[in-house]
Amino acid sequence: MLTGNERKKDILIVRLEGELDHHHAEEIRKSLDELLEDSSIRHLILDLRNLNFMDSSGIGVFIGRYKTISKRGGQVCITNVNPQLARILDVSGLYRILKVYNTVEQAVDGIRGEAV
């Protein structure tokens, strides 16, 4: 589920918590899409610090939101990726389209750095 989100100008920061499997994917997808209806959001940072489990259902969720954001010319960043998540992201090729940062602050700086 999503716990707390934060806006920094055109960046939306969302924290994912718990488990992202097929059962929870629909709820997470809906919540994210509702937030992304605000067209002033250009970049999305997904903080995975408290995400305890993810399987390939999460890959579908990430790719779908990437499509929305890339149409706006923005970036999708993920932060605080644990080793298990890293392997799933790696086999799925998501590293080619998502940017990975250690912390939310670094992701914000990264987006700002490229936007100039």
Nearest to 62 by CA among 34, 87, 99: 99
Of 19-27, 41-49, 72-80, 104-112, the segment contacting another protein by CB under 8 A is 19-27
Q: Hunting for tokens 């999305």 — which residue is that?
A: 44
Does 87 sit near another protein (CB under 8 A)? yes
Does 88 sit near another protein (CB under 8 A)? yes
Does 84 sit near another protein (CB under 8 A)? yes
Q: Hunting for tokens 């998540």 — which residue is that?
A: 85
* Cβ nearer to another protein, comparing 29 with 72: 29
Among 12, 44, 51, 59, binds another protein (CB under 8 A): 59
* Nearest distance, CB of residue 17 and another protein, angstroms: 14
Nearest 5°: phi and psi at 98?
Answer: -105, 145
Does 17 sit near another protein (CB under 8 A)? no
Contact present, 107 and 45 (Cβ < 8 Å): yes
CA distance 45 to 24: 19
